[in-house]
Amino acid sequence: MPAGAFGAACCDALLEAAARFERPSVGLATGATPVALYAELRERAAAGRVDIRSWRPFAIDEYVCAREDPCANRAFFERHWATIPGAPPVVQFELEVASLKAEAQRFHELVAAAGGLAVAVLGIGMNGHLAFNEPGSGRESRTRVVALSPGSRLSATRCFNEAPTHGLTLGLAELLGASHLVLLANGAAKAEVVARAFEQRVGNDCPASFVREHPAAVVVLDEDAAAALLG
Ligand code: PGA
């Protein structure tokens, strides 16, 4: 599936979920996967086909790194989100704080004050993580500081010279508590973890498997990412 078709399918799923709310609070993923989604949203907004000015976007995670680091998720949103016509600024984790623990609590309260997430846009990590909820994270986990797994640190080296050791993340409680989930995966490298998440047992060794228990989850896969699912 060309990137454009994947982006369009992701965009349709997100818009359909968001359209149910007047001012949707939307948790936004970063990484390679959602780039095509944001490009499609940019194209539709520029053409006047969608209007996202009423949305309340929230980052779902951040690396513990310098605020101005070009590899921080904050910088990703500058490139891929802030360039969408009409896109409201993303509520971000602050990094230059005295206490990351207090920052996690502040972020939890911001999401709670928005009434929780209306929609969470999620990628799936090669190890089955959702945001930085690494394997072992419980369903009830809250927004917190986490040690990044070796796999997440390896992925981070796609950008960072030296991968951060920690991240800030919305917990599985906040993410799975969203009214709607839109989980995205593309590319052959994700085929195995997609099959694990959707065909093996649900449990915290593969946090993405919890998506199966959500009553309103849409999963958008390209053919490569879906290749290992039983037909
Ligand atoms: P990716 O990351 O989109 O860069 O593959 C997904 C994730 O780790 O959630």
Closest CA relative to residue 123, chosen from 30, 204, 41: 30
User: In sequence order, which residues have a C-beta less than 8 Å from that of residue 101 and are 6 or more positions away?
Assistant: 144, 145
Q: What value does the mean pLDDT of the chain take?
A: 97
Fill in the amino acid letter for 12: D
Residues in contact with ligand 1 by the CB-under-6-Å rule are 31-33, 123-125
pLDDT at 7 (0 to 100): 98
Coil vs helix vs strand at 17: helix
Dmax of the chain from CA atoms?
51
With 80 as the cut, is the pLDDT of residue 1 above it?
A: no
> What is the distance between the alpha carbons of residues 160 and 29, in angstroms, rounded to a whole number?
18
pLDDT at 231 (0 to 100): 67
User: In sequence order, which residues have a C-beta less than 8 Å from that of residue 39 and are 6 or more positions away?
Assistant: 3, 7, 80
With 0.95 as the threshold, say if the pTM is over it: yes
Closest CA relative to residue 67, chosen from 120, 119, 59: 59
Model confidence pLDDT, tens digit, residues 185-206: 999 999 999 999 999 999 999 9
Candidate of 124, 157, 224 to mutate for ligand 1, largest count of ligand atoms within 8 Å of Cβ: 124
CA of 27 from ligand 1 middle (Å) equals 15
What one-character-per-residue DSSP string does 163-178 give?
A: --SEEEE--HHHHHTS
- Which residues belong to the active site? 61, 127, 129, 134
> Can you tell me the mean pLDDT for 107-120?
98
